[in-house]
Amino acid sequence: MQIESLKVFCDLAETESFTKAAQINNVTQSAVSQQISALERFFKSPLVERGKKEFRLTREGQTLYEHSKKIIRTYESLQFLLTGMHSDC
């Protein structure tokens, strides 16, 4: 599992659209679907209820979303701090 997959998942949860999540992350819609499937295999849980017109996170998906947001914020903060430390040299 990679942080990028968690970001794609969060973007999907927020936009409720595989197409929009793909556009945000500069990947194909198929790549988004594959990353979500990989996360579902990794966690051995369905994360998204896929319907024709309806999009909904499962209970496990909602839990993953909430924790993934924290992980992504921490990761972005770390990147910012380390980049700043490197530019001070």
Q: Is the pTM of this model over 0.85?
A: yes
CA-based nearest residue to 68, from 41, 44, 39 = 39
Which range marks the domain in which residue 74 is found?
3-87
Please give the distance of CA 54 from its chain centroid, rounded to a whole number.
19
β-pairing, 48-50 vs 55-57, is: antiparallel
CA-based nearest residue to 7, from 82, 73, 63 = 73
Beta bridge partners of 55: 50
Which CATH number goes with the domain that contains 12? 1.10.10.10
pLDDT of residue 88: 62
Below-70 pLDDT ranges, the chain: 1, 87-89
pLDDT of residue 55: 86
Total domain count, the chain: 1
Phi, psi of 58 (to 5 degrees): -75, 175
- Residues 39 and 65 sit within 8 Å (Cβ to Cβ): no
